[in-house]
C-alpha cells in the first residue's frame, strides 16, 4: 500500500497531468463592453476517435472519508476530462503520468482549495471524483463517442490530508 499526503494543488505541479482551471491564476481580457473579464482557453479539450464529441455533464458526488483508500487509478485514452466545482467544493486529486504502466514513484496526490478545477489530459491516470466534506456538484467536460474510453490500473493507495 503506497501512502501519500495530499499537497496543495498548483498549476506548476499539475503541468505533467493537465491544467488547473482557476480565474485567480489565469490571464483575462475584457469583453461585453468591459462588463466581463474572459479567462480564455484555460484547458485543452481533447476528443479523439470515431464520432468523438465533447460532452458537458454535471456530477453530483457524495463525500469521501479521509484517509482515502484506492485500489485503482483510471485513464481516458480518447479524451480529456475536466471537473469544475459549482459551489466551492474541495476535492482530492490523485494522478500519474500517461503511459501503459504506472511507476509508484510518479503518483502525486493533491487537494484543491474549492476555487480550483482540473482538466486531466487524455491518458492521464487519475482517481475517480473524490469530493471532501459534503455532497459536491461539478461541471464535467469530457469525451463522448465510439469505443472504450476508460482503462483501470490496479494500485493500492492511501491518501492522507495534513489537517
Ligand X SMILES: NC(=O)N[C@@H](O)C(=O)O
Chain residues in the site for ligand X (CB under 6 A) = 74, 81, 126, 128-129
At closest approach, how far in Å is the CB of 31 from ligand X?
A: 32
C-alpha distance from residue 127 to each of 71, 110, 124 (Å): 9, 11, 10
For 105, what's the count of Cα atoms within 13 Å in the CB-facing half-sphere?
0
CA distance 125 to 107: 9
By a kind-dependent CB cut-off of 5 to 8 A, residue 55 interacts, out of ligand X, Ni ion, none, with none
| Smallest separation, CB 122 to ligand X (Å) | 12
Contact 129, 61 (CB under 8 A): yes
Which of ligand X, Ni ion, none interacts with 129 (beta carbon under 5 to 8 A by kind)? ligand X
Residue 16 or 144: which CB sits closer to ligand X? 144
All cell numbers assigned to 42: 484555460
Minimal distance in Å, beta carbon 162 to Ni ion? 25
Q: Is residue 135 a contact partner of residue 54, using CB atoms and an 8 Å limit? A: no
What part of residues 76-95 is at the interface with Ni ion (CB under 5 A)? 81
Nearer to ligand X, 42 or 129 (CB): 129
Q: Which three cell numbers stand for residue 137?
A: 456538484
Q: Which does 7 bind (CB under 5 to 8 A by kind): ligand X, Ni ion, none?
A: none
Cβ atoms of 7 and 110 within 8 Å: the answer is yes
Applying CB under 5 A, the residues found at the interface with Ni ion are: 81
Amino acid at each position: 500500500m503506497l501512502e501519500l499526503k495530499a499537497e496543495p494543488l498548483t498549476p506548476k505541479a499539475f503541468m505533467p497531468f493537465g491544467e488547473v482551471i482557476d480565474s485567480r491564476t489565469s490571464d483575462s481580457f475584457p469583453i461585453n463592453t468591459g462588463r466581463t473579464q474572459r479567462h480564455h482557453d484555460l484547458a485543452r479539450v481533447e476528443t479523439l476517435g470515431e464520432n468523438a464529441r465533447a460532452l458537458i455533464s454535471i456530477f453530483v458526488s457524495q463525500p469521501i472519508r479521509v484517509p482515502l483508500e484506492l485500489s485503482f487509478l483510471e485513464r481516458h485514452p480518447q479524451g480529456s476530462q475536466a471537473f469544475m466545482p459549482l459551489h466551492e467544493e474541495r476535492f482530492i486529486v490523485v494522478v500519474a503520468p500517461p503511459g501503459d504502466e504506472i511507476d509508484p514513484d510518479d503518483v502525486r496526490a493533491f487537494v484543491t482549495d474549492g476555487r480550483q478545477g482540473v482538466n486531466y489530459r487524455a491518458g492521464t491516470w487519475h482517481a475517480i471524483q473524490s469530493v471532501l466534506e459534503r455532497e459536491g456538484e461539478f461541471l464535467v467536460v469530457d469525451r463522448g463517442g465510439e469505443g472504450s474510453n476508460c482503462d483501470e490500473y490496479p494500485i493500492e493507495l492511501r491518501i492522507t490530508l495534513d489537517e
